[in-house]
Structure 1
């Protein structure tokens, strides 16, 4: 045992306690083979390094369950299918992750519970981000599509695939780390690098989204103060419910961004580093940040606070941002949603132009939906 460096051992373990047939190279594999807490497999040697607090994990399970139920209720009622689905799915993953942490309060060496909570808690926020990305398109369409540097209907095509890429990279990393945990420490490190890469990409995408939203806000705010602002846009801009929705989405976005930055710092030190073994920071910067985001998105739904978005989403299939609508239906909706000739076209100045063809067909108002249904009933 002379070759065994005491610094690689968990706290409180003397080199003389380690079996003679285990050398320094096999030490990591030895601890990965532990199934329960024993003198040779102390809790300090686990990846977390502590017994998770049972009460706080039960609290998170209940909180995410409430978020999922509320999201499903308003989503089904107002038919905001895609917005609802991603928030509910993300909340369900978080709920599964914290449910898996409950058995760890008795046995931190429970591998199945540990792997479940790692994968679920890492992937959950990525799904929630998709719903946040969908909101910018509808805000632009409802205020002034021409002020957006990117055509509003293209936002989902940009941010959702990028977010899904983050999801896949993190999922691959989690799978590598989980499958190799018992016998291939090097593969575990590769999995860790994949997870970090996925989270870094997610932070980049979130920042790109935030800059796009901030740029649009500055441009539309300047336009609102001018004489060119349309009455409908002014009314929506001053609407308290719409502002509550925007504040809620902004709060959720901020919480997810803080969580992702924390995850980069946490994972950068490798499995079992001091930050990863600090439960208070995990509870605050991971658990509460994501829970607050889920509750904000669930309790401030577009179906109640932003009816223009809800009506536009209810007027088409939930997958419509991925598929082309039938040509005759597109023409019908576009004709009904167009303002009186000349009222929009000459409103903007400088580099701002009128609605493009692809923007106009997305600009579906509740009134146009009512007209469309009435025409169908007469036919």
Structure 2
């Protein structure tokens, strides 16, 4: 049966691209939330001037709004392939940009802790490497979406979906490596801090330009929010791989509650963490921020 020839009056919902009508109330809440966060991020962009981070967040939030808007119009026409594809592609691609925003921050955190000597990579190389991985995941998911959108038969559409799954799987692999390297850095940093405390007890002292930042309560809260943002986007990415791998007719792909919680809910937490605790605010007040950013940009990129 060709879904394009169907409507809710003439065909069963079982013949649609998903076997339920997306809830208008739930998807409207997500549109409102991501829309508000989009405006806040737009205001924060010139305030903190973290262009790469803000650009990634703005693109991702815009895609989220478009994706949930597609789900709302999909409610009355679940047989419309264009609405289905818009929902699929926008909500699949948006987290790629949130991951990129996270990748941009690790190098700066290493510099704030003067941890170049205990880091696996130079601070700047974290962004270069992981954003490159993100770019490849984006290309694969975009290519898969493009093939799916122009396919005239199910076999070609299956190829497109498989390419999208490969992109999502690669994104999960990159995130896994990112979490591993970040955890290892945190472990080495904790071990070094213990040695430094012993040195201070013996009469030695160590101060640097970022000591005031690290001592602020807001910095600790920012680090916790960053961990939560990483965990939630990671959980969402694993969910989408499992969901798409089962096919569009699988039970998981047609479970709206699972989608609203593990897709919308997880990404909402990610975006809230990265907006409410903006990394620019964690680096100090605006009057002090320009000096901090300058130090971050000019700090040595190699171990000393």
TM-score (norm 1): 0.72
Larger radius of gyration: 1
Partner of 1:51: 21
Work out the CA distance in 2 between the residues paired with 1:247 and 1:197.
30
Work out the CA distance in 1 between the residues paired with 2:289 and 2:85.
37
Work out the CA distance in 2 between the residues paired with 1:230 and 1:49.
62
| C-alpha displacement of 1:193 | 0.6
Partner of 2:68: 98
Q: Deviations over 1:214-272 (max 9, x none)?
A: 01101111112223573346554442111111111111111110001101110111122
Aligned match of 1:155 in 101, 111, 126? 126
User: 1:302, 1:310 within 8 Å by CA — same for their partners in 2?
Assistant: no
Work out the CA distance in 2 between the residues paired with 1:208 and 1:276.
27
Partner of 1:79: 49
Partner of 2:278: 301
1:252-267 alignment, distance < 5 Å: 252-267=229-244
The 1:174–1:217 alpha-carbon spacing in structure 2 relative to 1, beyond 3 Å, is: same
| C-alpha displacement of 1:192 | 1.1
- Superposition CA RMSD, Å: 2.4
Work out the CA distance in 2 between the residues paired with 1:42 and 1:130.
41
Work out the CA distance in 2 between the residues paired with 1:73 and 1:202.
29
Partner of 2:35: 65
Partner of 1:240: 217
- Long gaps (5+) in structure 2: 200-204
User: 2:137, 2:170 within 8 Å by CA — same for their partners in 1?
Assistant: yes
1:354-365 alignment, distance < 5 Å: 358-359=301-302
Q: Report the 3-state secondary structure (helix = DSSP H, G, I; strand = E; otherwise coil) of the residue aligned with 1:276.
A: helix
Partner of 2:164: 195
Work out the CA distance in 1 between the residues paired with 2:20 and 2:237.
22
Alignment length (residue pairs): 293
User: 2:226, 2:274 within 8 Å by CA — same for their partners in 1?
Assistant: yes
User: In proportion to residue count, which structure has more helix?
Assistant: 2
The 1:147–1:55 alpha-carbon spacing in structure 2 relative to 1, beyond 3 Å, is: same
Work out the CA distance in 2 between the residues paired with 1:163 and 1:104.
29
Q: Deviations over 1:5-48 (max 9, x none)?
A: xxxxxxxxxxxxxxxxxxxxxxxxx2343342244x32111121
Aligned match of 1:216 in 179, 185, 188? 185
Aligned match of 1:231 in 195, 207, 210? 207
Work out the CA distance in 2 between the residues paired with 1:127 and 1:158.
15
Work out the CA distance in 2 between the residues paired with 1:304 and 1:168.
32
Partner of 2:202: none
- Long gaps (5+) in structure 1: 1-29, 317-332, 338-354, 364-379
* Pair 1:174-2:150 in alignment: no
The 1:302–1:60 alpha-carbon spacing in structure 2 relative to 1, beyond 3 Å, is: same
TM-score (norm 2): 0.89
